[in-house]
Amino acid sequence: MLHTFHKGGVHPPQSKLTASQPIIDIELPRKVVVTFSQHIGAIAVCDLKKGDHVTRGQVIAHAAGFVSTNIHTPISGKVVKLDRCKTAFGHPADTVTIEASDEDHQSDLDAIESLSPVRDDDTAMSLASEELIKIIDDAGIVGLGGATFPTKVKLTPPPGSKADILIVNGVECEPYLTNDHAIMLANSEDIVRGIRLLMRAAKVDRAVVGIEANKPDAIEAMTRAASTCRAIEIMPLKVKYPEGGEKQLIEAVTGREVPSGGLPISVGAIVQNVATALAVSDAVRYGLPLMSRVITVTGPSVKKPGNYRVPIGTDIRSLIDIAGGVPSDVGKIILGGPMMGKAVVSIDAPTIKGVSGILMLPLSMSRRREPEPCIRCGACVDACPMGLEPYLLATLSRFDRWEDCEDNKVMNCIECGSCSYICPAARPILDYIRLGKNKVGAAIKARRAQSK
């Protein structure tokens, strides 16, 4: 019996069009736009001026506090613009635009060509935990599963708590996305190195890599790469959404339930994505900061769907052009997967660290169905991985009953979308729950501020 989480879950069609396809390195762009808020936490501070020259891998914005992170430029060049522009979701964001001259471009290509390790494995593995965390911090590494929480924060547990297991997330339960799958095939050795470094940094002596059983080749590659390290276990998991949710994955692997309102560390677990482990390996072994990542560009009518390694800051439109351009029947473009990804308002915006996929859905799949009355079938209650009653929360929220929302644990919702997905009446359950979370979250904050 394969391990899995025990509460709720749904089985959306997997639609992994690009499964097992090799990673394609896209050409180094001549121009990038880098935003300063690519992570959860304080916006990074940029002290560059127009006309400054930067080199590839240089920090262009510094972490502004503990929960924040550095941002690096993926190309050498001149700062041509510092301004506010719109992100793909239409929010304003401070950005810097860097353009490479021919010499800059050539020197970057040479540097990529002649990449060599700055530390061998023995040296890397002899680094102390603090030194490793410093390297990870300097390299601007954030959780690449999508939440973009600064990795160093997760590695420095609050006083009094101690982790005993590192869980590495290679689940990739979102339909369509195959970026983690691709790196597990192409970079399994590097990922295993990254896991060992993360274990050392977090001072844990056991790691489990959870991979859904629909990726047998990735399970095989990772098992082979980890065969020399007995502390790392590769665990195939039963295919079920949202297995890659942090709390669900911890339960699937260890049987421990993160208490309501608690963090993974409260049950002794630290969860990191496989792509994060790869970034850690690159940072420690090659001295490379986080300035590129693998993005799945996909969709039912995309001409050349694939897994592309992309310098972070490349604009979304040129990445889509590489994948064959925007299909003529497009109706919706999503950053991330179809269950939790966000629809964009514009593709003339830069990629950021948290983008795992670009999904283009045809118009026929873009519109929601007309909602019908709730028939109280209980499918949402069955599907909720957090054991909540989505139908009730949605109704309470619809009638502005925020206190009842709070009593019914609206804040436990992880917004996985299983309830809205499964509802036969196509009711916008999660929309109402998000509204409830928003209101209740604000009320809790206000109460805290008052009691201080």
Partner 1 sequence: MNQLLTISASPHIHTSRTVSWCMWQVIVALIPALVCAFYFFGIGAAIVIVTSILGCIATEYFITRYLLRAKPTIANGSAILTGLLLAFNLPSNLPVWIVLIGAVVAIGIGKMPFGGLGCNIFNPALVGRVFLLISFPAQMTTWPLPGENAWNYVDATTGATILGAMKLGELSPDGIDLWAKAVGFAGGSLGEVGAVALLLGLAYMLARRIISWHIPVSIIATVALFSWAIGADPLVQVMSGGLLLGAIFMATDYVTSPMCHRGMLIYGVMIGVITVVIRQWGAYPEGMSFAILIMNGFTPLINRYIKPRRFGERRSSI
Give the DSSP letter of residue 264: G
* Residue of 98, 279, 388, 396 interacting with partner 1 (CB under 8 A): 388
The alpha helices in 144-178, defined as continuous H runs, are: 151-155
Considering only residues 327 to 366 of the shown chain, the ones binding partner 1 according to CB under 8 A are: 330-334, 336, 338-345, 347, 359, 361, 363, 365-366
At closest approach, how far in Å is the CB of 160 from partner 1?
A: 15
For partner 1, the binding residues in 13-52 under the rule CB under 8 A are 13
Indicate whether 441 belongs to the interface with partner 1 (CB under 8 A). no
| Plot region of 8 (φ>0 → left; ψ -120 to 50 → alpha; else → beta) | left
- At its nearest, how many Å lie between partner 1 and the CB of residue 372? 5
Instruction: List the one residue from 65, 117, 216, 262 that touches partner 1 (CB under 8 A).
Output: 262
Interface residue with partner 1 among 224, 376, 445, 447 (CB under 8 A) is 376
The nearest distance, CB 138 to partner 1, in angstroms, is 33
Judged by beta carbon, residue 198 or residue 330, the one nearer partner 1 is: 330
Nearer Cβ to partner 1 (108/246): 246
Nearest distance in Å: CB 240, partner 1? 14
Site for partner 1 in 59-98 (CB under 8 A): none
Residue placing its CB nearer to partner 1 in the complex, 223 or 301: 301
Under the criterion CB under 8 A, does residue 258 sit at the interface with partner 1? yes
* Under 8 Å between Cβ of 43 and 64: yes
**Smaller CB distance to partner 1: residue 267 or 291?**
267
Stretch of 43-51, 209-217, 232-240, 410-418 lying at the interface with partner 1 (CB under 8 A): 410-418
Closest CA to 100 of 77, 74, 73, 72: 77
- The distance of closest approach from Cβ of residue 408 to partner 1 in the complex, given in angstroms and rounded to an integer, is 8
Q: Is there binding between residue 373 and partner 1 (CB under 8 A)?
A: yes
Report how far residue 73's alpha carbon sits from residue 56's, in angstroms, rounded to the nearest whole number.
6
Of 174 and 180, which CB lies nearer to partner 1 in the complex structure?
Answer: 174
Nearer to partner 1, 355 or 384 (CB): 384
The CA-based dihedral angle spanning residues 362, 322, 112, 70, taken in that order and rounded to the nearest 10 degrees: -40
Q: Which is nearer to partner 1, 177 or 185 (CB)?
A: 177
Within residues 263-302, the interface with partner 1 by CB under 8 A covers 266-268
Distance CA 203, CA 211 (A): 23
**Count of residues touching partner 1 (by CB under 8 A):** 75
Which amino acid does the sequence have at 210? G
Q: Binding to partner 1 (CB under 8 A): which residues in 233-252? A: 247, 251
Return the residues of window 162-181 that contact partner 1 according to CB under 8 A.
Answer: 175
Radius of gyration of the chain (CA): 22
3-state helix, strand, coil in the chain (%, to 5): 35, 20, 45
> Does 391 help bind partner 1 (rule: CB under 8 A)?
yes
Q: Identify how many contiguous H helices and E strands the chain contains and give both numbers.
A: 15, 16
With respect to partner 1, which residue has the nearer C-beta, 137 or 174? 174
**Which is nearer to partner 1, 234 or 320 (by Cβ)?**
320
**With 0-12 CB in 10 A as exposed, 13-18 as middle and 19+ as buried, what is 119?**
middle
Stretch that binds partner 1, among 47-55, 71-79, 214-222, 261-269 (CB under 8 A): 261-269
- Taking the complex as a whole, the smallest distance from the CB of residue 423 to partner 1 amounts, in Å, to 8
432 near partner 1, rule: CB under 8 A: no
Strands 306-311 and 292-298, by their bridges, are: antiparallel
| Near partner 1 by CB under 8 A: residue from 285, 420, 439, 440 | 420
Which residue, among 387, 168, 165, has the nearest Cα to 267 in the 3D structure? 165
Choose which of 10, 60, 96, 316 interacts with partner 1 (CB under 8 A): 10
Strand partners, 78: 53, 99
The number of residues in the chain equals 452
Looking at beta carbons only, is 217 or 372 nearer to partner 1? 372
Long-range CB contacts for residues 90-95, cutoff 8 Å, separation at least 24: 90/345, 90/346, 93/35, 93/36, 93/37, 94/35, 94/36, 94/37, 94/43, 94/46, 95/33, 95/34, 95/35, 95/36, 95/350
All residues at 6 or more sequence positions from 16 whose CB lies less than 8 Å from its CB, including other chains = 175, 176, 177, 178, 181, 214
Candidates 142, 290, 323, 386; binder of partner 1 (CB under 8 A) is 386
Q: Does residue number 316 form part of the binding site for partner 1 (CB under 8 A)?
A: no
Sign of CA dihedral 303, 356, 107, 121: negative
End-to-end CA distance of the chain: 50
Q: Which is nearer to partner 1, 117 or 255 (CB)?
A: 255
As measured in angstroms, the least distance from the Cβ of 206 to partner 1 is 13
